[in-house]
Amino acid sequence: MAKYKTEPLKCWDKAKELRSEVYDRIAKARDEGTMIVSGGTESAISLPAGFDMEFFGGEPYVAGCAFMGKNDSSKYMKYFETAEAAKFPRDLCAYMRLSVGSLLCNSYAFGGTYPKPAFNLQTHICDTQGKWYQIMSELEGVPYNALDLIPFEWESEYESEESKNLKHKYLKDQMLDIIDWMEDISGKKYDDEKFINALNCECESASLWAQCCMVNRSIPAVMDEKMMHSLYVIAALMRHEKASVNFYKELLDELKDRAERGIAAFENERLRLLLDGMPPWHSLEIYRYIEEFGGVSIGSHFSFGVSGGWAYDSKQDTRVPAMPPKEAGVELRTREDACSWYSKWLLNTNTILRSLKLSGQGKNKHILDLVKKWNVDGVLIHLNRGCEGTAAGQMEIRYFLAENNIPVITFEGNHADIREFDLPRVKTTINTFMETLDLKKL
């Protein structure tokens, strides 16, 4: 018999509808001549929202390509092979190679030709991210600009206020310069009010997603991580839109109701796991394989932290959902106000961006905090060859968790390139891990 009650998420279809809507709008913008702006979704995506535009985010798009390639590898493998034939080697970011390949094939995975942007705007959160859209711009023949972002250090590093102030001013001034640059290269007038509205939505969306993750501390977990990948992507794609805020409000209410009624994501939960690293989009069945042992992945540093939304609470010595401007009692009136708030928000709240630049003691402490606060029994670490940034410091995390008596095991793979992922071998690794925990298949 099932240990817990379970039921489908009521807002699941709404999430699918919103995801499809974004890619449909991009296709229509391409055909109708509406401005498209492209770049990474961990970028400052509210910044170009001062124009009427569609934002074509790279990471969710190519993650979708990898997922779709499981059942139809024709486009997916052609994108990789085309990029490699153009001398982009396999040790580059797998996302970047898929993106470049899609462009060189002039193929949009959701149908038709590749959506050429008016310009590319990236945030240089890691070296690959900075170069990814520089190369895309050269191939497309469109302008390119990038924000140079160096996040605040982890709180355990005791960064000086002078250092924080310098980083804040540096990023804020870049934002103001880029707004002028966007006006110059587009020939369009920038609307500060649209930017401010988008920024308020972005911060609220990211905060609401963090609040949703907090609900997953419940036993049983109200979401499993496979489910979460289809939910956090709304923030990645469109957190600057009011529809995103409305969706996360609806989701949060439903998750709280599930927690109160004891509704589980997985009816036989008996082992709570944390996955460190990006998921293998082409092989998400590993989550279902874990369930055969009664295990459920309750989230990860990655799925919790995508698009930011977390602030450090010094009294509790932990991260909590960050307060968006209105909740913090701040009214953004001018372009300068908005850029000042936005720069602090990106520097302070995004744990993913922080870990790309600053692994080590701070990230170790953060992972251990997730283990303790979310009642985690063990950790699976994906040593991801496809993204060096999110894989930074993972072996140090492994040793740190082992020293703190947290069961932990690693497996090698690639989040987007299925040629570098051995599913039977990963299942064997999971079998070994479960044996050490004295767990057999249900």
pLDDT exceeds 80 at position 124:
yes
Cα separation, 79 vs 267, whole angstroms = 39
pLDDT at 73: 86
What is this structure's pTM? 0.96
Q: What is the DSSP letter of 375?
A: T
pLDDT at 43: 87
Residue keyed to tokens 């153009």: 86
pLDDT at 2: 87
pLDDT at 391: 87
Q: Are 255 and 360 in contact (CB under 8 A)?
A: no
In terms of Cβ atoms closer than 10 Å to its own Cβ (0-12, 13-18, 19+), residue 33 is exposed
Q: How far is CA 335 from CA 110, 196, 339, 396, in A?
A: 36, 8, 6, 42
pLDDT digits (tens, 9 = 90+) for 191-221: 999 999 999 999 999 999 999 999 999 999 9
pLDDT at 291: 97
Per-residue pLDDT, averaged over 230-254, amounts to 97
pLDDT exceeds 90 at position 71:
no
pLDDT at 122: 95
pLDDT exceeds 80 at position 249:
yes
Cα separation, 258 vs 218, whole angstroms = 10
pLDDT at 356: 85
pLDDT digits (tens, 9 = 90+) for 253-301: 999 999 999 999 999 999 999 999 999 999 999 999 999 999 999 999 9
| Paired sense of beta strands 271-276 and 119-124, if any | unpaired
pLDDT exceeds 90 at position 128:
no
pLDDT at 157: 84
State what percent of residues in the chain have pLDDT above 90: 89
pLDDT digits (tens, 9 = 90+) for 160-172: 999 999 999 999 9
pLDDT at 439: 93
pLDDT digits (tens, 9 = 90+) for 346-375: 999 988 888 888 888 899 999 999 999 999
**For residue 329, what are the contacts with CB-CB under 8 A and spacing of at least 6?**
none
Per-residue pLDDT, averaged over 89-104, amounts to 95
Residue 369 φ then ψ, to 5°: -65, -40
pLDDT at 404: 97
Collapsing DSSP to helix, strand or coil, 306 comes out as coil
Q: Are 143 and 120 in contact (CB under 8 A)?
A: yes
Residue keyed to tokens 């390119």: 144
Collapsing DSSP to helix, strand or coil, 124 comes out as strand
Residue keyed to tokens 């310009």: 119
pLDDT digits (tens, 9 = 90+) for 401-439: 999 999 999 999 999 999 999 999 999 999 999 999 999
Collapsing DSSP to helix, strand or coil, 270 comes out as coil
Give the chain's mean pLDDT: 95
pLDDT exceeds 80 at position 1:
no
Per-residue pLDDT, averaged over 8-32, amounts to 95
pLDDT exceeds 90 at position 63:
yes
pLDDT at 104: 98
pLDDT exceeds 90 at position 106:
yes
Per-residue pLDDT, averaged over 139-168, amounts to 94
**For residue 77, what are the contacts with CB-CB under 8 A and spacing of at least 6?**
69
